[in-house]
Amino acid sequence: MKRKCQDYKSRLPDNTAMKQQQLPAFRLQLSANEILSGFFAIGLFCLGMGIILLLSAKSIREVEINYTEKCATCAKLREDATNFDKECNCSISFYLPQKMEGNVYLYYKLYGFYQNLYRYILSRSNIQLVGTDVKDVRNCAPFKTSDNGLPIAPCGAIANSMFNDTIVLLYNFNSSTHIRVPMVRTETAWWTDKYVKFQNPTFQNLSSAFAGTAKPPNWPKPVYELDEKDPGNNGFVNDDFIVWMRTAAFPNFKKLYRRLHRIGNFTEGLPAGSYSFIINYNFPVGRFQGQKAVVLSTLTWSGGSSLFLALAYLVTGAVTLLASFSMMAVHLKLKERKTFFLQ
Amino acid sequence: MFCSRKKSLEVERIVKANDREYNEKFLYKDNRIHTSKYSILTFLPINLFEQFQRVANAYFLFLLILQLIPEISSLTWFTTIVPLVLVVTMTAVKDATDDYFRHKSDNQVNNRQSEVLIDSNQDQSSAPYMKVLKKLQNEKWMNVKVGDIIKLENNQFVAADLLLLSSSEPHGLCYIETAELDGETNLKVRHALSVTSELGADISRLAKFDGIVVCEAPNNKLDKFTGVLSWNGSKHSLNNEKIILRGCVLRNTSWCFGMVIFAGPDTKLMQNSGKTKFKRTSIDRLMNTLVLWIFGFLICLGTILAIGNSIWENQVGDQFRTFLFSNEREKNSVFSGFLTFWSYIIILNTVVPISLYVSVEVIRLGHSYFINWDRKMYYSRKATPAEARTTTLNEELGQIEYVFSDKTGTLTQNIMTFKKCSINGRIYGEVCDDWGQKTDMTKKKETMGFSVSPQADRTFQFFDHHLMESIELGDPKVHEFLRLLALCHTVMSEENSAGELIYQVQSPDEGALVTAAKNLGFIFKSRTPETITIEELGTLVTYQLLAFLDFNNFRKRMSVIVRNPEGQIKLYSKGADTILFERLHPSNEDLLTLTSDHLSEFAGEGLRTLAIAYRDLDDKYFREWHKMLEDANTTTDERDERIAGLYEEIERDLMLLGATAVEDKLQDGVIETVTSLSLANIKIWVLTGDKQETAINIGYACNMLTDDMNDVFIIAGNTATEVREELRKAKENLFGRNRSFSNGHVVFEKKQSLELDSVVEETVTGDYALIINGHSLAYALESDVKNDLLELACMCKTVVCCRVTPLQKAQVVELVKKYRNAVTLAIGDGANDVSMIKSAHIGVGISGQEGLQAVLASDYSFAQFRYLQRLLLVHGRWSYVRMCKFLCYFFYKNFAFTLVHFWFGFFCGFSAQTVYDQWFITLFNIVYTSLPVLAMGIFDQDVSDQNSMDYPQLYKPGQLNLLFNKSEFFICMAHGVYTSLALFFIPYGAFHNMAGEDGRHTADYQSFAVTTATSLVIVVSVQIALDTSYWTVINHVFIWGSIATYFSILFTMHSNDIFGIFPNQFPFVGNARHSLTQKCIWLVILLTTVASVMPVVAFRFLKVDLFPTLSDQIRQWQKAQKKARPLRTRKPQTRRSSSRRSGYAFAHQEGYGELITSGKNMRAKNPPPMSGLEKTLYNSTSWIENLCKKTTDTVSSFSQDKTVKL
C-alpha cells in the first residue's frame, strides 16, 4: 500500500539486510558439549540447592496442634447456629521438648475450607474496603444487604466468613505459674494491604462512619468494634480482618495470627517446656467437615518450612544428573559411527 | 451486479445482427466482465458471512455470546471481543483491498475501446426505419452488446466472441494469434462466409446486415462451434473457422468486421477461466481440523470438570452453602455442574486464542513481503520484481509435490534462433562453444555485420565469420544450402510501408530458418502460387514452383520442386534426419557419417535439427512423375496412398547438403531449476497447448526427458479403446507382467488404487516418462480410465501433456489434487493457463509478458521460470519451517497456559476459578508472548538460503508434511500438558505450608497467581529462546523486551496508584512487590523453569544426536564452517549427450502448402495463373474443405435441418 512515486522509479527492491533476510544473526545451534555441560551444571546446582533447602527445612521448629477433636464440646455447641452468643473456651496443653529459637510465629490453620471458590473470591467490594464508598456493595452477592435492606459493611462472603477464634498461648512455667506468652498482632498483614488496600472511611468517629450499614450476618459485633482498644486496628484496617481477606489459594491453608513479642523470658524465643493454648472457640468447621489447627513455627532464610521444595530440588537435580550421564553415554557411543553428511 | 440475474439455462442462442432490441429479449449478458466478488453494498454482509464460516471465527463468536451470560461468565467479555473485532476487521480490510484491485483491473478491461457500428443518433433509435443511419463509433468494451458489429484493426485484442463477416484480406481471410487462449503463437486463419465477405468495409451495407445466427449456448470448448446463419433467405452453416474468440489478437490483417455472438462472461475465454476459488493451505485445513479437535477436547475437559463440580457440590459444597452463601436457596448440583461446564469452556478457550489467527496472517504477510523484496528474484531486464499476490499461501510453497508447467513463455522464451548449421561436413556457428556459457559470451562477441544483406535483421545473432567467408567465396554447397532455406518453406512475405519485409510464419522454426537465410544474403522476397522470388546476394532470381510436397506428421519432411532461371529442375527437401538419411544417394555415405556426428552434437545441446538435401531432376523424369501425380489426383480410390507413393518415389537419391540447428530458446536457468527441483523430489509435468514434437523437444532440452530413461510411453490414441489399450500396455511395460491389471474396464475403487500405488512405488525402479496428447487425454480423463492414467503418470519421472486445452490443464491438475492428495503448483504465462493456475493449490504467473491474465489469476508472479527454484526451495521452505515451528510453539504455549486452570479446578471445588489474574489472561497472548514467536515465525532460518538452494533434499520434509501434522500436534500438546503440570504442581507443593521470610503468609490466591504467571512467562520465553535458531537483533529485542514488559506491566498493575484509581479492576495491589521479593517464590519459579525445559532439551538433543535430519547436519556443519565460504554446489550437469531428435515440428496439421499453391491467400492483384498442376491440387481438395474435415464439428445436415425448422 505504501508504494510511493519514488518506488516507481526503480522497482528494484532495496538492498537492506532486513529486506534481503540477511540480518546479522547468531545461529543458535547448541553443540553436544554445551548441552551436556549445561545439564551437569544445572543438575549440580539443583542438587546443591536441594541439600541447602533440606538442611534449612530441618532447622525449623514447628508445632502444629489440631484442635477440632480436642475441643469437641465447643465444636458441638457451634454446630447449632442459635448458640452463637454463647462463649466457649477450650484449653489444649502441649509440651515443647526443645526451645524454639528466634522469631516465633503463631498461625491458625484451616483444612478443607475453600477460600478459592470463584464466587467466594469475587464476593467483596474493594471500593468499600478502601473507604471511598462504604455503601458500595455491588459485587458482594449474596451478602449485599441485611434483612432490613441496609448495605452490609464489610459486605460479601469473605468478610462474613471471617475466622473469629481467639487464641492465647500460656507458658506453664511450673504447675502453678502460667505466664501468658506475649504476642503482637502488628506486621501480620502486608504493608500494602494495611495502608493502601484497606482504609477506613474518613470520619472522626468510626461508628458514625459506618452509620447506615449493617454488620455481616455471621459477625457478633459490627466492624467498628473489632478492636475498640486500638483505633489503628479497628474497622477495615483490623489486622485479623485484613489477613482473612487475603484469600488462600488452596483449601488447606494457614494464616498468620500473632508474632512472639521477644521480651522477658522470651527474648531468645520460646523456651522448652509445657504450654497450653486457650482458645475461644467461635469458628464452626464441623458444618463443612473441616479441621482447625494452631501452628507455632520458626523461620529460616527462605521463610517457612519448604520441605517440598527441598525434595523437589533434590529429585530434579538427581534426575538431571542422571539424564546428563546417560546422554553423555549415548553421545559418546554414537560419536564413532556418526558419518558426516557431505561424504 | 446485473449479471447475477438468474435465468433459465440457455439451450440455444439466437442473435440478430444490428438489432439490440431484438436481442434484448433473450437477456444475454453484455460484454462487461466481473472478476470481483463484492460491491460496496454487498461487501459487509457477504464478507462477514464468509468470515464467520471459518470454524475459528464462528467459535469465537460463540464464546463471546457465552461470555455475555452472567451466570456462566468466568472471564470478562473484553478478553474475546477485542481480538475478535481486530481479526475480523483486518481480514475485511484485506479482502476489500484485494477486491478493489480486481475492480480496477475489471474496469481497465471493460473500458478498452473498440469501434462499434451503432446508431449515429440515439434519439432516432426508436424509429426502426432510421436504424440504417449507423456509423462506427468508439465504444467501451463493456457497452458492446450481443449482435453488434465490431470493427477490429491489426494487432487489436478481440473484444468478444465474433462471427467474422469480412476482412481486408481476400476471400474474407483473417489471421489471428491465439496465444492468450491456448498458448500457441503461430498464426491461425479464420475466414468469413463468402456471402458476408462481400460486404467488405461498406458501412452502409454492414449496417443493413440483419442476419440471424442460431447457435449453441455458451460453453468452454475452444475448438468447437456450431451454428447457422440465416440471411437473405438462405442458410449458411457456421463452424469454428468463422469465429474469432475473445482474447485473440488480430494479426497481419489490417481490419475485419465481426458480429458479436457471445459477450462478456459468455465468451469462451471467460468460460474457460474457471471460478475464483478461495484457496487455503493444507496447514489452514489442518488447523481447522485441530481447532475442532481442540473443541472436542475442551468439551471433554469441561465435562470432567462439570461432573467434578456436581459431585463436589453434592459432597462438599452443600455444607458451604449454608455457611458461605446462607441466603441462597438449596441448589441443584447437576444444574451447577451444567453452568460450570460453560464457565470452563470460556476459561479454557485460550487453548486456541484468536491471536493465533492474527499471528498466522501477520507471519504470512511478512513472508510475502520477503518475496516481494527479494533482489534475487528481481528481473532487471524487465524491471519486474517477484510479487506475492496472495498473502495466505506462503507455507504451502514449502510442500509442493507436483509442478505443472506451461511450455511456451514459461520454459521457453518462444524465440527460435538459428544457432548452427553443418554444411557439407563443416560446422558453422561453433564460436562460443569453447566457453560453455553461451549467452554470456554472445553478448561480448561482436555481432557480425552482414554487409551482404541490407535487410539484415538486427536481432539476428550468428557469429561465424567462416560462414561469411564461404558465402563470399561462393562455395556452391553453401549457396545451395541457403537457397534451399530461402525456397523450401511455407512462409509468406509482405512488404510494409517502410519497405521492410515481413514474414508471416506459421511456425517459428520456419521463420528462424528463413530469417537466417535472409540475413546471410538469400532473401526470400515474395511468392505467387507458381513462383518464388528470392534475392541471392543482391540479384533477384525467380524460381518456378513446380510442385509442393507438403509436410505431414507421417512424412516428417517437406519438399519443393522448382525450376531455376537456368531451366534446371531441383527438388529441395528438408526434414527429420532419420527420414531424410534413408533417401540419400549412396555417394553421400562419408558426408552422412560426418553430418550424423554433427547432428548428434547439435542434439546434445538441445537444438532442434533438420537435415537438408536436394536432388537434381531431369526434365523428362519430372514430367513423367508429374503426369502420374495428376493421374493420381484425379482418381478417387486410394488417392492419398498413391500420392504418398509418388512423393516417396521422387524424394530419393537425394544429395545431402547439411543440417540446421534451431534453438527453441529456453528461459535462462531452466535446466538448473528443473534439475534442482527434481532433486527436491518435485515432479514437473509439462502441460502445453503446443504440438507433441515441440513438447518432446523441450522435454529433452531441459533435461526432463533423457536418453537414460528406461522407457518413454507415448499415448496418442484417437478412440477411447485405443487410449485404454495404450495405457494398459504402458502399465504392463512399467510394472512387468507379474502384476495383474485391470484392463481398464474395471473401475478401480479409489481406495484400492491408492493402496496399489503404495505397493507399486516400491517396486518400480528406473526412469520412465509419459507423453500424452490432448485428444487421448480427453478419453483418459474419463472416470474409468483416469485411475490408470494417474497411476501410470505418477510412476513416471516426467509427464508431458501436449495439445491440451486450458480446461484439460485444469482437469489434470484437479486429478492429481484429488487423487494423489498432493500439493500442486501451476506455472504459466498466458490466458490459457488461467484455469490451471486457479485450480492448482498455488498458481504462479510469469509476469513481464504482454498478457496479464495469468498474472492476475495467479498467487505469485515473477518474470522468469528459474525464480521458481528460489521461491520454492528458499522462500517456500523457510515459510513452511517457520510456520510449523510457530504453530508447534503456539499450541504448546497455550496448552501450557490454559491447562493450569484444569488442574486448579480439582483444588478449587471446580468453581471455574482462574489461576491467573484476568488481566494476565487478556494480555498473555497479545502482549507478553506474541512478539518473540512472531519474530521467530518471520525471521527464523534453520539453514541459510544458499544451503537451501545447494541441498534441495532439504525440501522433502515439507512434502511429507513432517514438521507439523497431527502427531506433531500431539507432541506439542503433550509438551504443553507436561509444562502445565509442572507449572501448577510445583507451586502447589511449595505453597503447601509456606510462609514468607517475614512470617506473613504468602500462600494466598493472588501470590499463587503471580507465581504461576511469572513462571509461565519465563518458561515460555526460555522455550522460544531455545526454538529460535536465528537470533537477529529483533529476536533479542522481542524476547528480552517481552520479559521486561511483563514485569513492568505487572508492577504497574500492582501499584498503589492504579489501585487508587480503579480499585475494583486492579485488586492485586502490592502483590508483585510482596511476592516477588520472597526468595522461596523465586526458587519455585526457577525449579518450575528447569523442570519444564530440561526434558525438552534432553529429548531434542537425543533426537538430533541419534536421528539427525539433513537440516540438523547442515546446521552443525554450518556452525563448524562459520567462517569458511559456503560450499558451492556441484553444478548440475547442463547438457547431456543424447540421441538425435530431429524435430520437424512445423505444424501439427498439414502445413499451408495447399493454401500457398491455391493462391487463396494471395492478393487479388496477382491473378492466379493456374497451371495444370496447381489446378489439380486446388480442385482436388480445397484447403478449406480439408480444414473443415479435420475439425471435428462439421455441421451435420441433420442438425442443420433442425435449426432451420426452428
**Which one of B1000, B1026, B1028, B1031 makes the best mutation probe of the A interface by having the most chain A beta carbons within 10 Å?**
B1000
Question: Has the ipTM of the complex gone over 0.85?
Answer: yes
Backbone angles phi, psi at B238, to 5 degrees: -115, 145
Instruction: Quote the CA–CA distance of A295 and A107 in Å, as a whole number.
Output: 5
Asked if the Cβ–Cβ distance from A187 to B1000 is below 8 Å, we say yes
Residues of B in contact with A161 (CB under 8 A): 323-324
Whether omega for the bond prior to residue A142 falls within 30 degrees of 0, making it cis, is: yes
**pLDDT tens, A70-87?**
888 888 887 776 776 778
| Residue among A129, A160, A341 minimizing CB distance to B1110 | A341
Distances (CA, A) of B1093 to B882, B896, B983, B1087, B1176: 21, 12, 11, 10, 92
Asked if the Cβ–Cβ distance from B1105 to A334 is below 8 Å, we say yes
Q: Give the list of residues 6+ apart from residue B67 with CB closer than 8 angstroms, or none.
A: B73, B75, B76, B77, B79, B80, B346
Mean per-residue pLDDT over chain B, rounded: 80
Asked if the Cβ–Cβ distance from A125 to B1064 is below 8 Å, we say yes
- Give me the pLDDT at residue B1136, please: 42
**Helix, coil or strand: residue A296:** strand
CB atoms within 10 A of CB B803: 22
**Which one of B305, B318, B320, B322 makes the best mutation probe of the A interface by having the most chain A beta carbons within 10 Å?**
B320
- Give me the pLDDT at residue B749, please: 40
**Helix, coil or strand: residue A46:** helix
Q: Which residue is closest to A304 within chain B, CA to CA?
A: B995
Which residues 298-317 of A are in CB contact (within 8 Å) with B? 299, 301-309, 312-313, 316
Q: Quickly list DSSP for B435-499.
A: GS-HHHHHHHSPPPP-TT-TT--TT-----HHHHHHHHHT-HHHHHHHHHHHHSS--EEEE-TTS
At B274, is the pLDDT very low, low, confident or very high (cuts 50, 70, 90)? low
Exposure string (b/e) for A75-110, b if CB count within 10 Å is 16 or more?
bebbeeeeeeeeebebebeeebeeebeeebbbbbbb
Asked if the Cβ–Cβ distance from A196 to B322 is below 8 Å, we say no
The amino acid that residue B352 corresponds to is V
Q: Which has the closest alpha carbon to B357: B280, B277, B297? A: B280
At B605, is the pLDDT very low, low, confident or very high (cuts 50, 70, 90)? confident
Residues of B in contact with A37 (CB under 8 A): none
Cell of B481: 544450402
Residues of B in contact with A60 (CB under 8 A): none
- Give me the pLDDT at residue B12, please: 83
Residue B798 bridge partners (DSSP): B769
At B31, is the pLDDT very low, low, confident or very high (cuts 50, 70, 90)? confident
Asked if the Cβ–Cβ distance from B1004 to A53 is below 8 Å, we say no
Name the catalytic one among B148, B161, B266, B406.
B406
Question: Could you tell me the sign of the dihedral formed by the alpha carbons of A129, A130, A133, A134, in that order?
Answer: positive
At B537, is the pLDDT very low, low, confident or very high (cuts 50, 70, 90)? confident
**Which one of B374, B947, B988, B1101 makes the best mutation probe of the A interface by having the most chain A beta carbons within 10 Å?**
B1101
Backbone angles phi, psi at B222, to 5 degrees: -75, -25
Residues of B in contact with A297 (CB under 8 A): 995, 999
- Eight-state DSSP code of residue B745: S
Angle at which helix B282-312 crosses helix B333-348, to 10 degrees, equals 150
Asked if the Cβ–Cβ distance from A327 to B1102 is below 8 Å, we say yes
Average pLDDT over residues B541-554: 83
Which residues 149-168 of A are in CB contact (within 8 Å) with B? 157, 160-161
Name the pairing type of β-strands B798-802 and B860-862. Answer: unpaired
Cell of B196: 458476408
- Least confident segment among B328-337, B464-473, B1073-1082: B328-337
Backbone angles phi, psi at B1125, to 5 degrees: -65, 140
Q: Give the list of residues 6+ apart from residue B542 with CB closer than 8 angstroms, or none.
A: B531, B532, B533, B565
CB atoms within 10 A of CB B430: 15
Asked if the Cβ–Cβ distance from B994 to A306 is below 8 Å, we say yes
- For residues B734 and B719, is the Cβ–Cβ distance under 8 A? no
Asked if the Cβ–Cβ distance from A39 to B1084 is below 8 Å, we say no
- Specify whether the backbone of B97 is left (phi greater than 0), alpha (psi in -120 to 50) or beta: alpha
Prediction pTM value: 0.81
Q: Which has the closest alpha carbon to A118: B1005, B1011, B66? A: B1005
At B707, is the pLDDT very low, low, confident or very high (cuts 50, 70, 90)? confident
Asked if the Cβ–Cβ distance from A254 to B908 is below 8 Å, we say no
Name the pairing type of β-strands B402-405 and B683-687. Answer: parallel
Listed ranges A318-332, B36-50, B485-499, B534-548; the one with the highest mean pLDDT: A318-332
Contacts 24+ apart (CB under 8 A), B279-283: B279/B390, B279/B392, B279/B393, B279/B841, B279/B842, B279/B859, B280/B392, B281/B392, B281/B393, B281/B395, B281/B396, B281/B841, B282/B396, B282/B399, B282/B823, B282/B841, B282/B961, B283/B395, B283/B396, B283/B883, B283/B884, B283/B887, B283/B964
Instruction: Quote the CA–CA distance of B1091 and B979 in Å, as a whole number.
Output: 8
Angle at which helix B55-67 crosses helix B40-53, to 10 degrees, equals 90
At B764, is the pLDDT very low, low, confident or very high (cuts 50, 70, 90)? low
Top-confidence residue, B131 or A70: A70
Say what the alpha-carbon torsion angle B945, B951, B952, B957 is, to the nearest 10 degrees: -90
Q: Which has the closest alpha carbon to B330: B339, B342, B321, B320? A: B321
Element (H, E) at B188: strand B187-191
Average pLDDT over residues B634-662: 84
At B737, is the pLDDT very low, low, confident or very high (cuts 50, 70, 90)? very low
**Placement of cell 492419398 in the chain:** B640
Element (H, E) at B508: helix B508-519
Instruction: Quote the CA–CA distance of B680 and B960 in Å, as a whole number.
Output: 12
Q: Give the list of residues 6+ apart from residue B10 with CB closer than 8 angstroms, or none.
A: B217, B218
- Specify whether the backbone of B1130 is left (phi greater than 0), alpha (psi in -120 to 50) or beta: beta
Residues of B in contact with A334 (CB under 8 A): 1105-1106
Q: Which has the closest alpha carbon to B1018: B1072, B1085, B935? A: B1085
Residues of A in contact with B1007 (CB under 8 A): 249
The CA distance from B354 to the nearest CA of chain A, in Å, is: 25
Average pLDDT over residues B1041-1063: 92
Instruction: Quote the CA–CA distance of B979 and A111 in Å, as a whole number.
Output: 28
Asked if the Cβ–Cβ distance from A27 to B1031 is below 8 Å, we say yes
| Residue among A193, A250, A287 minimizing CB distance to B322 | A287
Q: To the nearest 5 percent, what fractions of chain A are helix, strand and coil?
A: 35, 20, 45
Helices (H), B262-350: 268-272, 282-312, 318-324, 333-348
Residues of B in contact with A27 (CB under 8 A): 1029-1031, 1115, 1118-1119
| Residue among A114, A130, A341 minimizing CB distance to B320 | A114
Residues of B in contact with A3 (CB under 8 A): none
Beta strands in B999-1076 (DSSP E): 1030-1031
| Residue among A107, A129, A249 minimizing CB distance to B991 | A249
Whether omega for the bond prior to residue A154 falls within 30 degrees of 0, making it cis, is: yes
Rg (Cα) of chain A, in Å, rounded? 30
Helices (H), B194-281: 194-197, 203-208, 268-272
Size of interface A-B (CB pairs under 8 A): 293
Average pLDDT over residues B5-13: 64
Asked if the Cβ–Cβ distance from A25 to B941 is below 8 Å, we say yes
CB atoms within 10 A of CB B458: 8
At B1051, is the pLDDT very low, low, confident or very high (cuts 50, 70, 90)? very high
Instruction: Quote the CA–CA distance of B775 and B808 in Å, as a whole number.
Output: 10
Asked if the Cβ–Cβ distance from B384 to A11 is below 8 Å, we say yes
CB atoms within 10 A of CB B846: 29
Q: Which residue is closest to A288 within chain B, CA to CA?
A: B319
Cell of B453: 544483406
**Which one of A60, A118, A191, A198 makes the best mutation probe of the B interface by having the most chain B beta carbons within 10 Å?**
A118
Asked if the Cβ–Cβ distance from B1029 to A114 is below 8 Å, we say no
Q: Quickly list DSSP for A125-161.
A: -HHHHTTS-TT--TT-TTSSB-TTSPBBSS-SHHHHT
Residue B991 has pLDDT above 50, yes or no: yes
- Give me the pLDDT at residue B650, please: 87
Is B577 a known active-site residue?
Answer: no
Say what the alpha-carbon torsion angle A45, A48, A51, A53 is, to the nearest 10 degrees: -60
Top-confidence residue, B554 or B893: B893
| Residue among A31, A116, A142 minimizing CB distance to B913 | A116
Residue B1010 has pLDDT above 90, yes or no: yes
- For residues B191 and B264, is the Cβ–Cβ distance under 8 A? no
User: Does the beta carbon of A76 lie under 8 angstroms from any beta carbon of chain B?
Assistant: no
